[in-house]
Structures are given as C-alpha cells and as structure tokens.
Structure 1
C-alpha cells in the first residue's frame, strides 16, 4: 500500500514525514473509509504530486478563455469502502431530487465556512461535461443525472465546485474516475459558474474524486481568482469542507441498508 503525500508540506513532529495527501478523517465526518491508493492509482498520484511540486515553485499558466478547463492537480480514490450496499443502482433506484441536490446550504469545518451560491441538477449528462470519450462512457455506463453546485467561502477567498454523477454501478463510477485523470484527455465536468462569484478554473486548482457506491463524488477547489496557494494542504482542507455536501448520500445508504435488513 502506498499513500500519496504532499512533498512540499510541513513535516510531522518527531517523525520526519510529510502530511498525508489525503489527511486522516476528521472527527464528526462519517466518510467511506481511509484514503489509501493502490497500484496504478498510487503511481498516478505520485506523478500528480510531482507535477504539483513543480507548479508550486514555478507557478501555473492560466488557461485560455476558450480552452476546456481541467484541474491543475487531480486525485481519484477508487476504494468505495463503506458504500458497497449501494454499489449498484438497483439497491438505490430513486432519482436524486432537487431538494437533495441543494440541501447543503452552509458548510463549515475548522476555520473554513462556505455558502451555496448555486446548484443545478440535470439529466443531460453529456451537456454537463466536455470531451467525447467522457461523454461516451457516461452514456455507456448508465449516467442518468449530474449535480453541479458552486460554493464560495465566507471570507470570499476560496471557491469550490461539488459534483455528483449518478451511474448504474460502481464499475461505471471507476471508469469515469479513470477518464477524469487529466493525462487521458478524455474530458472533464464543466464548472457551474454563478453570478457574482469569480469565474472558476482558470488558475491553480485541485480536484479530488471518490467512489460513493454507484455515485461519483467530485470536489474541485481553488483560491478565488485562481491565485496559487501557499501549500497544497490548504486546498485539501477546503476540499474536505466541500465534500460535506455529499452527506445526503449517507441517507440513501442508510435507507438501502434498512430495506435490505427487512427483506
């Protein structure tokens, strides 16, 4: 097992080791499980962290306005631990509702707080992403809905995007996470730009994706305006706050577990 790390972060006292790229789960959050990465995923993250380390010292170029946007750094987590009960849509067939999609109006953890600036729930999966290969796999593996939400921090210093992709099964989710690896060029989810919120994605940004049963959950965060952060850990902490918008999926997991217990 290999855990990806931010090589530019401060060392832990007494151990001489960098902070985990995916930090230890924080109190009060019921997450699917720890964030180890295996095999090819671990190798990918090692490459991503190396690229990020270079960018942190050299800076990243802003993307041209007409160029499809991708994050500067991307880390997928294929584990899916804790969500096996709804690894297939047959155990959770009810569609995501508008109420669920916009249920997380306020998010807070530690020093960070965010408000929901806008949310969109669509059944047109292809329209919410760019890239022919990604669009093809969304269709092939049974995408029926995509949630896109935009968040802005209370101090206006950070902005975040939160996506949920409703797939037929966890196998389809894993394929989408592979497509999202930026070196594939398969495509990416389009950020939801909202009035009075800085346009998203043109500067330094980081994205994290996880398998929540038959749902892909993606957080994509940056400093407002795309300014380069002092440390990648800053964006990791912000992403964990934004991931709190996925809490409605735990309700679906509990309902599926209760239904299974009664059968």
Structure 2
C-alpha cells in the first residue's frame, strides 16, 4: 500500500496501520493495485506544517501565481508503492513495445477528472522521448538512461476554482526493476533529482510551498501523481492531498488496456 510520509523531515515511528482513503463513491470496477494509505505520527505532520508556515512567512507568501516555480523543485511529502500487484505481464517492455501516445492516456474522460469533491481539468500535456530534457539531477538522469527510459508523459491539471493543481506523470522504462529504482531515486533524501513539473500559462505555478507526490508501479511504467493547493498553500491535511491525488491518478487507466493486449489478467 502507498504510505504518505514527509520526506523533508525525520521519519516518525509508525504508530498504527492507518486507514483506507479511497473515496467511497469512486471505487473502481476492477481491482486496482493497493490504495494509498496515510500513516505517520502527528508529530511528523506538525513538523511539516511548521516548516511550511515558516517558509511562507520568510518568503512573503507562496500564492503569487506570476512567480515562476523553482526549476529544481521537490515535493514536500513523497510516497512510493513498489508492489506492482496485478501487472506482472507488463513487467518488461518486450511484452508491451508500443509507445504511449497523448491521445491514449490523456484524451476522452482523462480531460476532465471528477470525484465527489473535486473536478480537475487538463490544462496542458507534454510527451517526450528525451527523458533528460524534463528531469534534473545527474543520478536520476543516469538511472533513467540505465533502465531504458524511452518516454515521459506529463499532464498538468487544475481545478475549476483554481484552488488545486496536479501533475500526472508516466515514465516508460524497460523493466519493472527500473521502475522501482526510479521510485527510490525520487525520494528527496537521496538527492538524486526529480521530474520537472509542467507549468502551462494561465494556471497557478506549480512547485512552490507544500506539495505531495505518490508513485506507483504499473509493470514497466512508473505512474506519479503530484498535487498541491494553488501557490503551495498549507493543505487542510495530508488526507486532502491524497484525495486530490487519487483523482489525478485516473488517467493511469490506460495501463489496463495495455494489460489486456498483453493477455494479462489481474491476480
């Protein structure tokens, strides 16, 4: 299960198993990989909140949409999921050699994502075969090359009221082993680097203040959702970030089509 933790502060001891935060009205028809699970002692969250508030005070606030987001931006909280449950047939790209297209992943229902609480619209998308051009960090870029990164797809989402912004990211790697290594690299504690957010005109700049990212293993695809309140404002709770990320993750449904074509059935 995905577990949300603050990678920018010392990890607090786990105090319980937590609870499932999948929205009740949004249960998928097919069983997905294990849902995100929030955990962490209250003290760890308090440390994050204090750090965010201090940063906002010292910088004069994070809500200026005209400010360009920092190029080498990192999420405040990051949680990887290495399980890859149900996608063993897609563990290598040899079973799924066709490149991703923007139309496949980000058209149709993926243009407007909805849940009971949130509606987010696709503001821009970008697909590149040059994985180095949309990432930073020598170690991350080295591992992307080592593990056969052939494509990175990014979609920028914004809510109708412009209170929430999100990034949907897919990294196409040669193997599931590579996906897991890239997820380890994305932990800010490694200093390996990160993927640059897509910042289209007319959308609140992404990357300043508090943000949370979640990464999942879908066979040889790493699927990353990265969300924040516009301007990086402090969220009501990490639960809020998880709920928004679950909405932004919906375009990953394209992988189910890939699984069907590979002759795979979820186990």
- What TM-score, normalized by structure 1, do the two folds share? 0.83
Report the equivalent of 1:32. 32
> Unaligned regions of 5+ residues in structure 1, if any?
8-16
Please, what is the CA RMSD of the aligned residues? 2.9
Separation in structure 2 between the aligned mates of residue 3 and residue 134 of structure 1, nearest angstrom: 22
Separation in structure 2 between the aligned mates of residue 67 and residue 195 of structure 1, nearest angstrom: 16
Report the equivalent of 2:260. 254
* CA contact 1:101–1:119 (8 Å) conserved in 2: no
1:153-232 matches, within 5 Å, as 153-232=159-238
SS state of the match for residue 191, structure 1?
coil
Separation in structure 2 between the aligned mates of residue 141 and residue 157 of structure 1, nearest angstrom: 37
1:24-173 matches, within 5 Å, as 24=22, 26-28=26-28, 30=30, 32-35=32-35, 51-60=44-53, 61=55, 66=70, 68-103=72-107, 104-173=110-179
CA positional deviation for 1:158: 0.2
CA positional deviation for 1:132: 0.3
* CA contact 2:52–2:209 (8 Å) conserved in 1: no
Separation in structure 1 between the aligned mates of residue 210 and residue 241 of structure 2, nearest angstrom: 10
- What TM-score, normalized by structure 2, do the two folds share? 0.81
* CA contact 2:120–2:158 (8 Å) conserved in 1: yes
> Unaligned regions of 5+ residues in structure 2, if any?
7-15, 60-67
Separation in structure 2 between the aligned mates of residue 35 and residue 159 of structure 1, nearest angstrom: 21
CA positional deviation for 1:249: 1.2
CA positional deviation for 1:36: 7.8
Cα-to-partner distance string for 1:155-208 (whole Å, 9 max, x where unaligned): 211000010000001000000000000100000000000010011011110000
* CA contact 2:210–2:234 (8 Å) conserved in 1: yes
SS state of the match for residue 257, structure 1?
coil
* CA contact 1:75–1:209 (8 Å) conserved in 2: yes
Separation in structure 2 between the aligned mates of residue 206 and residue 80 of structure 1, nearest angstrom: 21
SS state of the match for residue 95, structure 1?
coil
Number of equivalenced pairs: 242
Structure 2 vs 1, CA of residues 209 and 95 (structure 1 numbering), >3 Å: closer, same or farther?
A: same
SS state of the match for residue 234, structure 1?
helix
Cα-to-partner distance string for 1:131-173 (whole Å, 9 max, x where unaligned): 0000000000000000011000122110000100000010000
CA positional deviation for 1:109: 1.2
The yes-or-no answer on 1:244 pairing with 2:250 is: yes
